[in-house]
Structure 1
Amino acid sequence: MSTTETQNVKIVTADPSALGLFGLAMVTLVASSQKLEITSGLSFVIPWAIFLGAFAQLFACINDSKRNNTFGTTAFGAYALFWFGVAASWMIKMGVFGQALAKDADTKQLGIAFLGYLVFTIFMTIGAMETNKILFIIFVFIDFLFIGLSMNSIGFIPEFSHRLAAISELIVSIFSFYGSAASVLNTHFGRTFLPVGKPFGIFKK
């Protein structure tokens, strides 16, 4: 008489959110410095948009999917693709792909894209309420960032909307640095070294 035994093997992977948040923190820090006129030009913003804003968050997206984290996968994946798109748009505007393409660029189309990302970020903000308060704050200011970006690209109250986007982006960077640090150090020390705040508990028990 033979018996068949079934074994379930659980593969444990590290939480990739610390790297994803660090990528977000870095790209928004560099990009906000340009919007706030601390720096000028986009040439040295583009590499950070591609490698930190895009690839770091894409890495977090792929690894969050392995952890069956739908929220993290969607958030990091969508914003990774956003930074790929923004970097490509900047390069088109700068004539990297030829002057014909640069002359045909309509910034209002960027405004429509930013508006779409605002819709996405709003419902992700609702989801962030049941993750932690630091992540919720990050999403709230990403909302304001996209409000400013969409208004500015469309040409509505340009000075105010540009300033709104710049300040919001800097705040996103600051809280993302904190969120990344908390994710690393809380896990590393096995205790709450940097508090991130409990979920609101409104939609999810």
Structure 2
Amino acid sequence: MHNPSSTQVKIVTADPSAIGLFGLAIVTLVASSQKLGLTDGLSLVIPWAIFLGAFAQLFACIHDAKHNNTFGMTAFGAYAFFWFATATSWMVKMGVFGSELAGAVDGKQLGFAFAGYLVFTLFMTIGAMETHKVLFFIFVLIDLLFIGLTFDAFGAPEAFHKLAAFAELGIALLSLYGCGAAVLNTHFGKVFLPVGRPFGIFKARS
């Protein structure tokens, strides 16, 4: 009896973390400029939120799924959809979808969304401890961003808005470094830009 042979094909894909971090870096850089009062309005923040914050991170999410990287897939996917929702919320407030929606805005609803993302980011920060230190500190800054955004949405003092603004700028700068490290360390096959070893608290260092 003839037994047909089977062939296994391994598909190798590049590490998508660099493009994901790049998307995060650029959108937070542009958005923080508005929060810090360096630029005005949200009209030209929205395209960067959609294409860099959302689509670039969604692309990284999909490819991290192919790598069987649950942590990366979940992180990039969750923040991609955050930026889709944020850009849409801005457009609602600006009246893009009509005056009826714009007139019914309650900013506290965003506060509940930000609070949910804060909880999510806190446990993702624990996971980042066993990836590398640059990623860990990016998540710490995202924690601070969501603390600031949450309290600001509920009408807390201006200091929380400033906390969100400076945290967002820090995310941008550190994510740019992380992107550069991911690209150049892989490209040169050695540590060109150090990212720091995992903490080794919850699992042994490899």
Q: What TM-score comes out, normalization by structure 2 length?
A: 0.97
What residue number does 1:77 align with?
77
What residue number does 2:169 align with?
170
What residue number does 2:117 align with?
117
Q: Tell me how far apart the structure 1 counterparts of residues 188 and 134 of structure 2 sit (CA, whole Å).
A: 19
Q: Tell me how far apart the structure 2 counterparts of residues 182 and 155 of structure 1 sit (CA, whole Å).
A: 39
Q: Tell me how far apart the structure 1 counterparts of residues 87 and 4 of structure 2 sit (CA, whole Å).
A: 55
Question: 1:9-24 alignment to 2 at 5 Å?
Answer: 9-24=9-24
Q: Does 1:54 align with 2:41?
A: no
What residue number does 1:190 align with?
189
Q: Tell me how far apart the structure 1 counterparts of residues 133 and 50 of structure 2 sit (CA, whole Å).
A: 28
Count of matched residue pairs? 204
Secondary structure of 1:168's match?
Answer: helix
- Structure 1 residue 3, shift from structure 2 partner: 5.6
Q: What TM-score comes out, normalization by structure 1 length?
A: 0.97
- Structure 1 residue 33, shift from structure 2 partner: 0.2
Q: Tell me how far apart the structure 2 counterparts of residues 9 and 197 of structure 1 sit (CA, whole Å).
A: 34
Render the CA deviation track for 1:16-64: whole Å, top value 9, x for unaligned: 1100000000000000000000001000000000000000000000011
- Structure 1 residue 10, shift from structure 2 partner: 1.1
| Long gaps (5+) in structure 2 | none
What residue number does 1:180 align with?
179
Amino acid at match of 2:200: G
Q: Tell me how far apart the structure 2 counterparts of residues 169 and 130 of structure 1 sit (CA, whole Å).
A: 23
- Structure 1 residue 6, shift from structure 2 partner: 3.8
Identity percentage over the alignment? 70
Question: 1:1-150 alignment to 2 at 5 Å?
Answer: 5-150=5-150
Please give the root-mean-square deviation of Cα atoms over the aligned residues, in Å.
Answer: 1.0
**Runs of 4+ in structure 1 over 6 Å off:** none
- Structure 1 residue 160, shift from structure 2 partner: 0.4
